[in-house]
Structure 1
Amino acid sequence: MIQNIWLRFLSRKMRAILMATGLFCLFIPFSTQAQTNPVILVMGDSLSAEYGLARGAGWVKLLEDQLHKEASPWTVFNASISGETSSGGLSRLPKLLEQKKPGIVLLELGANDALRGLSIQESDKNLRKMIQLSKISGAKVLLFGMQIPPNYGQEYTKQFQNLYPRLARQEQVELVPFFLKNVASDINLFQSDRMHPNEKAQAILFKNVWGAMAPYQTLLKSNR
């Protein structure tokens, strides 16, 4: 009788072990799935948030399509908000870094700082902090260079233009020299407000970004 009880006990133990092992095996595919889908986080304003465009017509979608075409395991999370400033982006970034754990951060902010008359020093401080937080999290950064029209004053315009290459150099991150290259000078590539690029311009914007991502091409083919 004692022997039968002991055997039943062992049977329960074995069943427990088998169940635990089975559950462990079930968790493996989910863990592997998480590791095989590294994230590109886009932090931008209306230029990246498809303002005035049909859904899925912006340059970020073209980036997703290119990654899919190349069978890259990377996914894109677009956290861009129309009207966003460097201050707003900085306030949102820590939570996004924690939640999404991106391997690459595309930083397209600052234009609205200039439109609102924010000082160059304030924009510098906010963008620099965003770069540093991203790097601390383990992400690589691609900073988008921006320019503003000369009617904001020659000195301010020049300082704003120089802000981006200086930040990229000092913080040792990659740079899109001018995000609106080959777009800014062509009125036919803008919406009726003459501020936001239209759908025809999105392929050019994507090309500017993709070209600047050349140093990451090997990374984009891997699982990080």
Structure 2
Amino acid sequence: MVRLRASLPAVILVFTSCSAPLGIRDQPRSYIPANGWPTIVCLGDSLTAGDAAPVNQSYPAWLQKRLTASGYHYRVINAGVSGTRVADGLKRLRGDVFRFHPKVVVVELGGNDPGKTPTRVWQRQLSELVARVQRWGAQVVLGGLDEPGLGAVYRIVAAQRNVPLVWFTARLWSSPGLWGDAHHPNGHGYRVVMETFWPVLVRLLTRSG
């Protein structure tokens, strides 16, 4: 699993169940693919970057471990950047997604938009982002947050673009021990996140890659 990170000055904002925005703390750096395996790109914000957990316990890191253990030859790219909004994700597609020639893209965005971007705008942007990935030729798994002001948007976009929708944090709320801070899972929590969408993702893969 490759994590694309480089430090930038911090702007301290947070992701909460009531959709408080996150701060942009880092950005991807260049990466040269190895071993010729097809790639899975995880595009998102701090929930993808793995905030509040060790670098080797983000959900993309757990996904890489699960793929390898299960005999799937895929390279996972962690394209999570804290503070990313949907408009930022659109701008990042060429440099952080398409250049890796992914077979599958897991999209987890939108939690930073409420309060900053009108709902109709970020809904349209998210739909366009998914459509662009599909036109490029990759399959999409949409990760959503089933919370007030958010859940309906993900449902609409998933239906519009005919992509599977997984509620990323649905299995975490009843288990306080799975949270690393008030707003992000800990390492165990990110593993649960990965296990939540694994049954959906694995249907899109082949063991030969």
Question: What TM-score, normalized to structure 1?
Answer: 0.73
- Residues 24-54 of structure 1 deviation map (CA, whole Å, 9 limit, x = unaligned): xxxxxxxxx9895111011011111121211
Q: Give the corresponding residue for 2:122.
A: 123
Q: Give the corresponding residue for 2:159.
A: 169
What secondary structure does 1:111 align onto? Answer: coil
Q: Give the corresponding residue for 1:74.
A: 74
Q: Tell me if structure 1 keeps the 8 A contact 2:67–2:74.
A: yes
Spell out the pairing of 1:46-195 with structure 2 (5 A cutoff). 46-114=46-114, 116-148=115-147, 158-176=148-166, 178-192=167-181, 194-195=182-183
In 1, Cα distance between equivalents of 2:179 and 2:98? 36
Q: Tell me if structure 2 keeps the 8 A contact 1:74–1:220.
A: no
In 2, Cα distance between equivalents of 1:204 and 1:98? 27
Unmatched runs of 5 consecutive residues or more in structure 1:
1-32, 149-157
Question: What TM-score, normalized to structure 2?
Answer: 0.78
Q: Tell me if structure 2 keeps the 8 A contact 1:101–1:137.
A: no
In 1, Cα distance between equivalents of 2:208 and 2:201? 15
What secondary structure does 1:91 align onto? Answer: helix
Q: Which has the larger radius of gyration?
A: 1
What secondary structure does 1:43 align onto? Answer: strand
Q: % of aligned pairs identical?
A: 27
In 2, Cα distance between equivalents of 1:95 and 1:78? 13
What secondary structure does 2:112 align onto? Answer: helix
Unmatched runs of 5 consecutive residues or more in structure 2:
1-32
State the Cα RMSD in Å: 2.0
Q: Tell me if structure 1 keeps the 8 A contact 2:60–2:77.
A: no
What secondary structure does 1:76 align onto? Answer: strand
Partner AA of 1:60 in structure 2: P
> Structure 1 residue 189: deviation in Å?
2.1
